[in-house]
Amino acid sequence: MRTKQIVVIVAVVAVMGYLYSLPVKGFLKPKETTQANAKMPAAKPKASLSIDAVSATAKAGLTPAAQQQIGVLENNLKTAAEADKVPAQKQLAKTWDDFNQAAPAGFYYLDIARKSNAPADWILAGNRFNTAYKLTQDTAAQSTYIVNATEAFTHANQLQPDNLEAKTGLGVAYVNGGGMPMQGITLLLDVVKKDPKNHEALLNLGMFSMKSGQFEKAVERFKTLIAQKEEVEPYFYLAESYKQLGRKDEAIAAYEKCKELMGDPVAGQRIDEYIKELKK
């Protein structure tokens, strides 16, 4: 199985923890949200991690050869002339991407974007931080990723107000913990209104629907995604949604399809456990 496919499978399992850790109060009706916020003001996230700390953590999960490759590129950046620093940062960011490490890649893309102020660079940074947020349960890291994602997508939206990728990213950052969950949902709904088949907006709306217990809505979102392209992630969430609705046969069928798409017996063992539990 391809490395990227394996990463997707691992990410899906990690995202389930992220999904059920989202603040439920962010999905209340507007009136209820106002009342809840009045009783318990949301603390603003703070950026407390540096690129050095994040890179050190990411390196621990790499092979010795990959660690050496990153080390060489980091040294190249340290010794680069000022005119060569951005190309060196881009090379580092791309290499971290190749190793499926979104967090350190995000820091380099963010620094590049702060220099270029180009929408594409802001979006590259924001996407990496939203991904990094999903894949960790470290609250200090999550706080940093929220702050950085919000900064990146805010700039991208200011520069290109009609860019749906930027709007989607900002919506996700807001819901994740950027202090404005209802505004985030509104942004995502606006994206889907303009582009009913938008993959990222539909995927995230489906996940947020799951968190708020709106499993029927979640099913609708994931089925729309699957109708466009059959993928592991939406099939897994579709199965989970069916399970929560008590629709066991449909949940089993979705899990089976998810396992088929994985295409690897070892990776499918976890899915077999879910299916076995449903058949009891």
Alpha helices in 30-138 (DSSP H): 30-39, 51-59, 64-79, 85-98, 102-116, 119-134
In a domain, 175, yes or no: no
Q: Are residues 36 and 56 in the same domain?
A: no
Whether 148 and 104 have beta carbons less than 8 Å apart is answered as no
The count of domains in the chain is 2
In a domain, 171, yes or no: no
In a domain, 100, yes or no: yes
**CATH code, domain carrying 240:** 1.25.40.10
pLDDT in tens, 113-166: 999 999 999 999 999 999 999 888 888 899 999 999 999 999 999 999 999 999
What is the reported pLDDT for 32?
Answer: 32
Closest CA to 148 of 119, 113, 120: 113
Residue 177 Rama label (left phi>0; alpha psi -120 to 50; beta): left
Q: Are residues 61 and 37 in the same domain?
A: no
In a domain, 257, yes or no: yes
Q: Are residues 136 and 237 in the same domain?
A: no
* Cβ-Cβ contacts under 8 Å for 109 (sequence gap 6 or more): 93, 121, 124, 125, 128
Contacts 24+ apart (CB under 8 A), 214-220: 214/27, 215/241, 215/242, 215/244, 215/245, 216/245, 219/245
Q: Are residues 114 and 59 in the same domain?
A: yes
Q: Are residues 151 and 233 in the same domain?
A: no
Q: Are residues 57 and 155 in the same domain?
A: yes
In a domain, 277, yes or no: yes
Predicted confidence band at 178 (pLDDT cuts at 50, 70, 90)?
A: low
- Residue 31 clears pLDDT 50, i.e. is over it: no
Percent of the chain at pLDDT > 90 equals: 68
Predicted confidence band at 228 (pLDDT cuts at 50, 70, 90)?
A: very high
Residue 104 CA to residue 132 CA, distance in Å, equals 9
Predicted confidence band at 46 (pLDDT cuts at 50, 70, 90)?
A: confident
Domain that holds residue 95: 50-163
In a domain, 173, yes or no: no
Average pLDDT rounded to a whole number, residues 182-196: 95
What is the reported pLDDT for 176?
Answer: 87
In a domain, 170, yes or no: no
In a domain, 260, yes or no: yes
Mean pLDDT of the chain: 86
Residue 30 CA to residue 22 CA, distance in Å, equals 17
Handedness of CA 65, 71, 76, 79 (dihedral sign): negative
> Of 130, 163, 196, at which residue does a domain stop?
163
- Residue 1 clears pLDDT 70, i.e. is over it: no
Predicted confidence band at 12 (pLDDT cuts at 50, 70, 90)?
A: low
- Residue located via tokens 């940062």: 89
Residue 152 CA to residue 126 CA, distance in Å, equals 5
pLDDT in tens, 58-75: 999 999 999 999 999 999
- Residue 27 clears pLDDT 90, i.e. is over it: no
Average pLDDT rounded to a whole number, residues 88-112: 97
Residue 168 CA to residue 185 CA, distance in Å, equals 9
What is the reported pLDDT for 269?
Answer: 84
Average pLDDT rounded to a whole number, residues 99-106: 96
Q: Are residues 80 and 151 in the same domain?
A: yes
Average pLDDT rounded to a whole number, residues 239-260: 94
> Of 132, 163, 194, at which residue does a domain stop?
163
Q: Are residues 89 and 133 in the same domain?
A: yes
Q: Are residues 89 and 114 in the same domain?
A: yes
